[in-house]
Chains A and B, each alone.
Chain A
Amino acid sequence: MIYFAAAYLIVWAIFLSYGLILGGRLRRAERRIRSSR
């Protein structure tokens, strides 16, 4: 059970972390492009 839980926690933690990083980069880029135009 511990291995199963660890594997699924890792998968969702990676997706969440990458999603947050990507979302942050997207918001930052959108803001910079709006202020540059």
Chain B
Amino acid sequence: MPPRKGHGCSQGGQPAGWDSLAAMGIVAGVSMLVSLVLILFFAPLEKEMGIVQKIFYVHVASAFAAFTAFGLTFICSIAYLVRRSRAYDQVAASSVEVGLVFCTIVLLTGPIWARAAWGVWWTWDPRLTTTLVLWLIYVGYLLLRASAMRERRRAVAAVYGIIGFIDVPIVFMSIRWWRTIHPVVIELGGIGLSPRMKLVFFITLLAFFLWYLYLLMIRWRVAALEEEIDDLRKRRISEGSIP
């Protein structure tokens, strides 16, 4: 599709229609309910921590969903700078917003688990600190998008989306690089969980991933529609039909 005049970028791909959204909603919703039932009734109780350990499933799955979201923003930001397609910019921005929802869950469930396990709500541990920094970086991304000039907003946000992603591998590696009290569950040798815990963990990971995709599909549709409304309004102003 040729570039649209006045925007300096092409329209690119289109967000999912109502049928795809409904189908994805059913798949993601059922997956989330299945994972919840498995966590409650199938996953065994951990010997030392008991039921509190079950926070682990949603805490880690949310972290992986957030990493995936920010990773997609990183890829789409590069793609936008190369192709100048609106769709990449819309997906990048949508993915940040959905990723922040998951990152917020990580930052809220973590302290609850920490209170039960360590006796404190928060400690300036490398993993906790880098995760808080990650959250702040992407809040900054959304603030930047809301404040930057329209013509340059997409390119500036894309550069920010690329640079901001640097913190994701730092968060992941922080418990391996520095001395920390945060547990290391996923190691090179495998995952330190019993077979039943491992099964529930992977199903929860998949469910959260599907839930992230579903939210992203809706958010992208909202972004595309809002831009279309904005374009229509601008066109009418330029044609003189709106004073």
Interface, chain A (partner B; CB < 8 A)? 1, 3-4, 6-8, 10-11, 14-15, 18-19, 22-23, 25-26, 29-30, 32-33, 36-37
Docked-complex contact B112 and A6, CB < 8 angstroms: yes
Docked-complex contact A33 and B225, CB < 8 angstroms: yes
- Within 8 Å of chain A (Cβ to Cβ): is B139? no
Docked-complex contact B105 and A32, CB < 8 angstroms: no
Chain A facing B: main interface SS? helix
Nearest chain A CB to B195's CB is how many angstroms away? 22
- Within 8 Å of chain A (Cβ to Cβ): is B26? no
Docked-complex contact A29 and B226, CB < 8 angstroms: yes
How many angstroms between the C-alpha atoms of A10 and B111 in the bound complex? 12
Nearest chain B CB to A36's CB is how many angstroms away? 5
Docked-complex contact A11 and B58, CB < 8 angstroms: yes
How many angstroms between the C-alpha atoms of A6 and B101 in the bound complex? 17
Q: Which residues of A contact B52 (CB under 8 A)?
A: 3-4
How many angstroms between the C-alpha atoms of A1 and B219 in the bound complex? 35
Q: Which residues of A contact B159 (CB under 8 A)?
A: none
Q: Which residues of A contact B233 (CB under 8 A)?
A: 36
Contact of B54 among A4, A14, A18, A29 (CB under 8 A): A4
Docked-complex contact A1 and B51, CB < 8 angstroms: yes
- The answer to whether A10 and B108 touch (CB under 8 A), given A3-B55, A36-B232, is yes
